[in-house]
Amino acid sequence: MFELADAVASAPGRVGSLPGLSLEPEFRRGHGSVYAALTAGRIDESRLRRLLLAAVPAGRERLVWFAGDVSNWPRPEAVCSPQRLMVHDKSARTLAGHPVTSGWPFAVMAGLEWGP
């Protein structure tokens, strides 16, 4: 699972496909392992949280600051894709006239450092 995350993080540009990730040097397994990692892989969330917080230097008064963003990837045509949610899309043209469609939200978090 971590090699898969490394492959996503180090891929040059947007990831085109899951089998394409298996060609990244950071993913040292075969293309079938990509699907196996996503199906059966588990991440110890508390351990990952401790690891990530250890990498971010504490700022003034020992505070750690993060910036976050959630971007939506609208996919209304992907009716058989798993785990789609309702997401806001200002360009969506639905029958009810609301800017809501199905898709996936992606969250990005970044640790912020204090300046000199």
Flag whether 11 is in a domain: no
Flag whether 113 is in a domain: yes
9-26, pLDDT tens digit by residue?
887 877 777 778 788 888
- What pLDDT shows up at residue 95? 63
- Kindly state the DSSP code that residue 77 receives in the 8-state scheme: T
- What pLDDT shows up at residue 94? 62
Residue range(s) defining the domain that contains residue 103: 64-116
Flag whether 110 is in a domain: yes
Listed in sequence order, the residues at least 6 apart from 11 whose beta carbon sits closer than 8 Å to its beta carbon are 20, 21, 24
pTM of the model: 0.39
- What pLDDT shows up at residue 115? 66
- What pLDDT shows up at residue 116? 62
Flag whether 89 is in a domain: yes
38 or 108: which carries more pLDDT confidence? 108
Residue given tokens 């006239």 in the structure block: 97
Flag whether 109 is in a domain: yes
56-112, pLDDT tens digit by residue?
777 767 777 788 988 887 777 777 777 777 787 777 666 666 777 788 888 888 877
Domains in the chain: how many in total? 1
CA distances from 58 to 39, 50, 66, 112 (A): 36, 13, 11, 9
- Exposed, middle or buried by CB within 10 Å (0-12, 13-18, 19+), for 91? exposed
Flag whether 112 is in a domain: yes
| 31-40 helix and 2-10 helix, angle to the nearest 10 degrees | 120
Flag whether 79 is in a domain: yes
Flag whether 31 is in a domain: no
